[in-house]
A and B are shown apart, each in its own frame.
Chain A
Amino acid sequence: MPKIKLSDNTINIIKDICAEFQNKESELINVLHKTQGKLGYLPAEVQEVIARELNSSVARVYGVVTFYSFFTMIPKGEFPISICMGTACYVRGAEQVLSEFKRQLKVEVGESTSDGKFSLNCLRCVGACGLAPVVTVGEKVYGRVAPTQVKEIIAEYREMNGAESKIA
């Protein structure tokens, strides 16, 4: 994993979140949740700061981060793409849509493109089963997506600027 150097600003953001929870080790999950909300992801260096602030061990923090699938150590792309793998979407061909995204973006599930533009993930049911198969890009929902539309969807965002990576 490449090392990143956290800016003083980022370190202060993390410290403030920890302080908000009285630097209690028992608040670890809340601290991680809020930190990920602010920074987008939880790389090793962020976990080290949290461990120090909460007087916990990095191993324990890492243990919690890897236990819950909600937490991620990989930065999401500017445009996070999610394909619903719920039952309805799955039977209506979500897997083929997913393969097409993988092929076009040249990434696996859970990864981001090298330019940081897109990340690819699966999710379970967004409650729009009538539109199956469903794909979301950021907050936007696409229904009845066919593999042939994948190229179009990606193109829509290619030239757009999304949220910058929040860890400077």
Chain B
Amino acid sequence: MDVINLTIDNKPVVVKKGTTILEAAKGIGVHIPTLCYMKLEDLNIENKPGGCRICVVEVEGRRNLAPACCTEVHEGMVVNSHSIRAINARRTVMELILSDHPTDCLICAKSGNCDLQNMAHYLGIRKIHYEGEQSHYRKDTSPAIIRDVDKCIMCRRCEMMCNEVQTVGVLSAINRGFNSVVAPAFEMNLDHSVCTYCGQCVAVCPTGALTEVDETGKVVRVLSDPTKTVIVQTAPAVRAALGEEFEMEAGTLVTGKLVAALRRLGFDYVFDTDFAADLTIMEEGTELLNRLGKHLAGDKEVKLPILTSCCPAWVKFFEHQFPDMKDIPSTARSPQQMFGSIAKTYFADKLGIKREDLVVVSIMPCVAKKYECGRDEFKVNKNPDVDFALTTRELAALIKISNINFRTLPNEDFDNPLGESTGAAVIFGTTGGVIEAAVRTAYELHTKKELPRLDFDELRGMEGIRKATIDFGGIPLHIGIAHGLGNARKLLEEIQAGKSEFHAIEIMSCPGGCIGGGGQPYHHGNAEILKKRQAAIYREDSKKSIRKSHENPYIIKLYKEFLGHPMSEKAHHLLHTAYFDRTEEKG
């Protein structure tokens, strides 16, 4: 291996050839500030356009300053990361960026979480010496994401996420010089584009240029309406991340405090999306077994592999980009929508109230869930099954403005009947979890035998595409897992080409699955946070006394009292859906 010797701030360093100055400095604990640069280790996600020039350093013998993030080291290099020239250049660059940036930090949605604000503070900027024209663009509001590109600093992180990681291709830098900005083609609104609302652009945006649609105000209003019964469901990944908003260590499980906080906010019943995740497994698992049974009986028409359908961004992705395959995914609705559907029928009946008087709020790690609950097929007489979907971040904001001291809350339990769940449901929150949960149930329903083990380590991890074969009582079941839509695309193209080896594939749009969702507390490019959330999810699973969906007593009761059996006519009506060809909608 070729090694390079250099010195950074008078410290000798030995690194591999091809290493950047930034990485070499990091290795010896020298912090070089960066802004546009972002790297999520182990997820193969890196943004280094060398655009912002905050990371410039002085290199002896080099005429100009070198951007540390994208300059490779060379033998004998002498780097000074804080020469007066480098510091002045950095501060000038920052002032120039700020001279074309609104200074409404006090009321910006990103305030306190803004990389630009943090960097201005880090560099000690107290005055902007440059005055000039400021860019003004139309604000673009979609069902899930708001683009306020006056705040765009052209770091290109969103563009990288949208194109390279997700391969959705909605966002691109357009125009030139002062007029350049990141926008959809022809500057159309996001809701006219093929945007999936995965929210990964929001997750990486360093400023307030991309944010979720804030619906906390609407939720506060319904909570104070005495004529409404307001219930809440909370997705599995929320409990593994919400604590971060309250300065708790990443990966802290806050399930009990989350329930307590929701109760104090005034929700009449605090339920768990995990209950609906168990229900999803019953339906999706049965569908898998049905298709598999037909396939084994020699039916050539049956569609395999079956694809999971829990993720609304993934659903919108294939509706736009692979409409010819819209009969392959499971028809099972997502847990959020199954919950809403059951709440506004089964539970409303139990309470003896009309569906219009029951308001369902969901807390999601996701911004696409806002779009999903607004889809027409999830409404009855224009009344949506789920009224509002808040992100983890919005919930944190709501808790803060309601004077609830989250850290000192006691642990409380979910209400019944829609609050009981199993370990299989909680792992829905991470890549690999849905398929593992499905395997636990489908195996036992198929073989009529108890699983010898519950942890399927071969399905777990952070690899973008994973595959495993599970022995299903003599039948080898080939399973594929993809997270990130670019990885999903690869598996879809295999299916299209007739080359797929899989029986079942799990797809989640966000890198890491829902733990890395677009509505989660900002990770600021630190992939360790995602890994800690993932570990927390598996910890919660292993602590649960029931870890298989079909053993959830309230699920058994729901089928007995109301639905009949999985894939029954009623289940079809309430828990399944159809997909649409959206190729014509674009443009």
Which residues in A have some Cβ–Cβ distance to B below 8 Å? 1, 44, 47-48, 56-63, 66-69
Task: List the A side residues contacting B180 at CB < 8 Å.
Answer: 67
B557-587 vs A, Cβ < 8 Å mask (1 yes, 0 no) = 0000000000000000000000000000011
Closest to A63 in B: B172
Q: Please choose the segment from B163-171, B230-238, B440-448, B522-530 that sits at the chain A interface, where 4 or more of its residues have CB less than 8 A away.
A: B163-171
Does B186 count as interface, using CB distance less than 8 angstroms?
yes
- The smallest C-beta distance from B52 to any residue of chain A, in angstroms, reads 19
Report which of B170, B175, B176 forms a contact with A57, defined as CB distance below 8 A: B170
Which residues in B have some Cβ–Cβ distance to A below 8 Å? 163, 168-176, 180, 183-186, 586-587
- The smallest C-beta distance from A1 to any residue of chain B, in angstroms, reads 7
- The smallest C-beta distance from B169 to any residue of chain A, in angstroms, reads 3
- Let me know if A60 and B163 touch, CB within 8 A: yes
- The smallest C-beta distance from B156 to any residue of chain A, in angstroms, reads 11
With known contacts A48-B587, A57-B163, A62–B176 Cβ distance under 8 A: no
- Let me know if B174 and A58 touch, CB within 8 A: no
- The smallest C-beta distance from B176 to any residue of chain A, in angstroms, reads 5
- Let me know if A59 and B169 touch, CB within 8 A: yes
How far is A127 from B306 in the complex, measured between Cα atoms in Å? 67
With known contacts A1-B186, A47-B185, A58–B169 Cβ distance under 8 A: yes
- Let me know if B184 and A44 touch, CB within 8 A: no
Task: List the A side residues contacting B186 at CB < 8 Å.
Answer: 1, 44, 58, 62
Task: List the A side residues contacting B163 at CB < 8 Å.
Answer: 57, 59-60
How far is A56 from B587 in the complex, measured between Cα atoms in Å? 15
Task: List the B side residues contacting A58 at CB < 8 Å.
Answer: 169, 185-186, 586-587
- Let me know if B185 and A61 touch, CB within 8 A: yes
Report which of B168, B172, B586 forms a contact with A62, defined as CB distance below 8 A: B172
Task: List the A side residues contacting B171 at CB < 8 Å.
Answer: 59
- The smallest C-beta distance from A151 to any residue of chain B, in angstroms, reads 34
Report which of B169, B170, B175, B587 forms a contact with A44, defined as CB distance below 8 A: B587
- The smallest C-beta distance from A55 to any residue of chain B, in angstroms, reads 10
- Let me know if A66 and B175 touch, CB within 8 A: yes
Task: List the B side residues contacting A47 at CB < 8 Å.
Answer: 185
- Let me know if B172 and A57 touch, CB within 8 A: yes
- Let me know if A59 and B170 touch, CB within 8 A: yes
Report which of A59, A67, A68, A69 forms a contact with B185, defined as CB distance below 8 A: A59
Query: Which of A1, A44, A47, A57 has the most chain B CB atoms closer than 10 A to its own CB?
Result: A57
Closest to B187 in A: A62
Closest to B587 in A: A48
Task: List the A side residues contacting B172 at CB < 8 Å.
Answer: 57, 59-60, 62-63
- The smallest C-beta distance from B585 to any residue of chain A, in angstroms, reads 13
- The smallest C-beta distance from A68 to any residue of chain B, in angstroms, reads 8
With known contacts A57-B185, A59-B169, A62-B186, A67–B587 Cβ distance under 8 A: no
Report which of A44, A56, A67 forms a contact with B176, defined as CB distance below 8 A: A67
Q: A59-B174, A60-B169, A62-B174 are in contact. List 19 more A-B contacts (CB 8 A).
A: A1-B186, A44-B185, A44-B186, A47-B185, A57-B170, A57-B172, A59-B169, A59-B171, A59-B172, A59-B185, A60-B163, A61-B185, A62-B172, A63-B173, A66-B174, A67-B175, A67-B176, A67-B180, A68-B176
Closest to B167 in A: A57
